[in-house]
Amino acid sequence: MKEFQLIDEVMPDLPPADQARAMAVRARTLGGARRRHRLPALSRVALAAAAVSLVLVGGFAAVSMLGGSGGETAAVQEPAAVLGAAADRLAAQPPGTGAWWRREMLHVSRVRTKDNPTFTVEWRVKEVLWVDREGKQRTEQGDVVAKPFTPADERAWKDAGSPKLCKPSDDCQLGRVFFTSLGQTFKPVAGLPTDPEALKAEMLRHLPGSGVDSQEAWLWDAGQTLLLYAESTPGTRAALYRILADLPGTRVADGVTDLDGRTGVALVFGDSPARRQIIIDRDSGDLLAVQNVLIPADGGASDPGDGGVSDSYVVKRLGWTDEAPQE
């Protein structure tokens, strides 16, 4: 599957991880140096070490730590390997016990206004979703907290006359930006397959005959809904990671940060004008966030400071519990 392949574009100039190639690089490096002038012995050793210090082996980059004691090496996993290991650890978790499945989420949205001077506003709202063993749902939502994003944005907001941070039409109510009721389609959710191929086949049984942009886009929507709004088991969630990672148009990226400042390995789908991200904890495989980021014309990650809009659904807690919602 694509999510377990090495990503060649990351370091296209690296030599293959075989001894003959490494020795050839070493010989060329030292030979070229000797033709110009003879280096001291210590310098030749350093050049040789640098020539073979970065080798890809089984999804890892082995980097020589020059200057350390004993020639230590640090193993840096490729993003696809990080995702695979995280999915394995998630799949090994038990389904969980308790009468209620509880998902606590923080919805964070940042928007650049059209005021003069312009500034970025951040909205935050807490939402708790409860699902019982029969699939009945309850939702608790807190008040929206809105404020200028940075001190510079606050100064610009004051210079613009301190306008209201919420439009009268929405009264500071944040809705779901790109989610649907697909979670209600796959019942019983707890009985969904944990094998990626079987799960994908079950999902595609519900693919509408019309009204979808593409099968891949629909699978992505359905997958992120099952991750964020349904009581799916750890095994099913791990299978969803693998299905989404294998979709055309998906890439795996490490070091992606959500709007609450947490960083993990991410599934990234889509290009301009919007890029979707599912951010996963590297160690446990737990879902950290699902977010939507606008992409500027140059193709980079959008910054709310240059006109971008970002939405992040940050998961604080997820799983079965003996707690119950308030009556």
- CA dist 202 and 256 (Å) reads 30
Cα dist. 184→64, 101, 140, 240, 313 in Å?
51, 15, 18, 17, 19
With 0.75 as the threshold, say if the pTM is over it.
no
- Summarised one tens digit per residue, pLDDT across range 103-157 is 999 998 888 888 899 999 998 989 999 999 988 889 998 888 899 999 999 999 9
Q: Rounded mean pLDDT of the chain?
A: 76
pLDDT digits (tens, 9 = 90+) for 246-276: 999 999 999 998 878 899 999 999 876 778 9
- Is 51:44 a contact under the CB 8 Å cutoff? no
Nearest-angstrom CA–CA distance, 144 and 188: 33
∠ CA 63-19-79, rounded to 5°: 40
Q: How far is it, in rounded angstroms, from Cα 200 to Cα 181?
A: 18
More confident residue, 8 or 294: 294
Q: Is the pLDDT of residue 319 over 60?
A: yes
% of the chain beyond a pLDDT of 90: 44
> Looking at per-residue confidence, does 294 or 288 come out higher?
288
